[in-house]
Amino acid sequence: MTLMEKFSDDPVVAELAEKLKARYKELEAEVFDREDFELDEFSEMNERYYSDLRESDPDDVTLFQIMWFS
């Protein structure tokens, strides 16, 4: 079994990932209203952010950026 498979199948990892996703959603709700996601400005900002992320070095990608696009 590869490390990736062990990591992906690990119940502790799965539990921590779910906790992280839930906390991210809580913090997101504190900052953004549901209406914010429907604004053209939000979509434009998101597209620019995604474009910048694609051009960055993979070693510089943060956990926040991964959560943002998940």
Q: What is the DSSP letter of 67?
A: H
Q: What is the DSSP letter of 14?
A: H
Structural domain includes residue 26: no
- Token reading at 19: 């906790």
Structural domain includes residue 10: no
Q: Tally the domains of the chain.
A: 1
Residue 46, Cα to own-chain centre: how many angstroms? 12
Containing structural domain, residue 60: 31-70
SS3 call for 65: helix
Structural domain includes residue 63: yes
Return per-residue pLDDT of the chain as tens, 70 residues. 899 999 999 999 999 999 999 999 999 999 999 899 999 999 999 999 999 889 989 899 999 999 998 8
pTM greater than 0.75: yes
Structural domain includes residue 40: yes
